[in-house]
């Protein structure tokens, strides 16, 4: 019996080429999809960190607490194709276009900008806490840094986040209260002259703009910017440090104020409970809105905190992601202290200039 000849062995490699090419293409696609960056960023839930473990005070007695006051963070990463697809499947993740995250800055400039915001925020937080306890904190400033420019307002298109307002109506801004004082008598329709130092540029620029009516007061003229004192020198009665590492942004201000108050006073500010806090703090104790609150609420939901204190303007977004955690909206430091008192803490019974607190 004769076995018929099989296929010509020389044809086998030729038939395998399409499969090999397909495998190579899949490998290249997978490698590219995992490495090639898109012009988008993913905003994800970050950490919930106990502020009191990050605060160092030297020269005054401090107190420990059973509860905790934590600040919240988000994770911001540029997306690859795979990352983009994965982010679309997670309701706690927000995808943002590159220009919304960076504005006119490159990634390094944006990082430095946010670190500056964090540094300023910590100093203001310490000032507000100490003044709440009756201390006097002397300050001087080198302008007001723009944190946010509101759309369709006078400053829109003229200023960018990171710019510093150094002079208004020919008067230098060298004290944290100067800008508000200078503009206090202005009304909607008034034209003002500004000197601005653009972020990451050497040359100052002169601007002229017409004030608009404030949303909450039609008689008050505003530029439409959220600002924070820049280059401020603070003279505290004792040494205070906040170890925040490479975390940037101003949104931990209220948390640091409350955490420092708890460290400097006996008793329990939170009644022994675990509390998460977010929101900027200004030198007059006003609490400002923050970004990424949905992601921060998701992080709080996973942390075991019993209460989440947020700026009033962020309340709805926080509630939508906080799960069973109670969310309390606040507009001022006093509102936040009242919320902690309702939780069982001694926040409304803080001593003034605690014994042994120094000069």
Give the active site residues: 251, 296
Residues 6+ apart with CB under 8 A from 92: 44, 45, 294, 295, 298, 321
Measured CA to CA, the distance from residue 122 to residue 254 in angstroms comes to 9
Measured CA to CA, the distance from residue 173 to residue 195 in angstroms comes to 10
Cβ atoms of 252 and 260 closer than 8 Å: no
CA distance to 8, 30, 250, per residue, from 280 (Å) = 77, 42, 6
Cβ atoms of 270 and 68 closer than 8 Å: yes
And the tokens for 200?
A: 């990451």
**Angle (deg, nearest 10), helices 253-264 and 107-132:** 40
CA distance to 81, 127, 246, 323, per residue, from 232 (Å) = 43, 11, 21, 39
Residues β-bridged to residue 281: 287
Measured CA to CA, the distance from residue 307 to residue 59 in angstroms comes to 32
**Angle (deg, nearest 10), helices 333-342 and 253-264:** 60
Residues 6+ apart with CB under 8 A from 103: 110, 160, 161, 162
**Nearest Cα residue to 290 out of 325, 261, 252:** 252
């Amino acid at each position: 019996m004769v076995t018929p000849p099989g296929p010509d062995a020389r044809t086998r490699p030729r038939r395998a080429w399409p499969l090999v090419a397909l495998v190579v293409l899949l490998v290249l696609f997978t490698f590219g999809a995992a490495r090639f960056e898109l012009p988008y960023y993913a905003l994800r839930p970050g950490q919930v960190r106990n502020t009191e473990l990050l605060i160092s005070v030297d020269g005054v007695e401090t107190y420990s607490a059973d509860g905790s006051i934590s600040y919240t963070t988000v994770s911001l990463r540029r997306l690859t194709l795979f990352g983009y697809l994965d982010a679309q499947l997670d309701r706690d993740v927000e995808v943002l276009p590159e220009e919304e995250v960076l504005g006119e800055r490159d990634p390094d400039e944006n990082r430095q900008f946010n670190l500056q915001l964090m540094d300023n925020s910590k100093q203001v937080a310490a000032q507000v806490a100490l003044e709440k306890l009756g201390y006097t904190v002397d300050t001087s400033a080198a302008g007001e840094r723009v944190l946010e420019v509101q759309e369709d307002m006078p400053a829109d298109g003229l200023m960018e986040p990171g710019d510093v307002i150094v002079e208004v109506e020919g008067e230098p801004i060298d004290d944290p209260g100067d800008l508000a004082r200078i503009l206090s008598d202005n009304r909607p329709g008034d034209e003002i002259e500004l000197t601005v130092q653009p972020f990451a540029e050497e040359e100052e620029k002169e601007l002229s703009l017409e004030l608009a009516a404030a949303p909450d007061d039609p008689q008050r003229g505003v530029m439409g910017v959220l600002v924070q004192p820049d280059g401020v020198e603070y003279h505290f009665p004792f040494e205070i440090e906040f170890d925040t590492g490479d975390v940037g942004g101003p949104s931990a201000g209220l948390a640091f104020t409350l955490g420092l108050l708890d460290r400097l006073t006996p008793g329990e500010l939170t009644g022994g409970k675990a509390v998460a806090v977010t929101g900027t703090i200004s030198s007059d104790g006003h609490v400002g809105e923050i970004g990424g609150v949905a992601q921060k609420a998701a992080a709080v939901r996973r942390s075991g905190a019993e209460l989440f204190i947020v700026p009033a303007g962020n309340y709805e977004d926080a509630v939508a992601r906080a799960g069973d955690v109670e969310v309390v909206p606040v507009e001022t430091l006093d509102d936040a202290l009242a919320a902690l008192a309702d939780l069982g803490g001694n926040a409304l019974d803080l001593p003034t200039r605690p014994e042994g607190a120094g000069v």
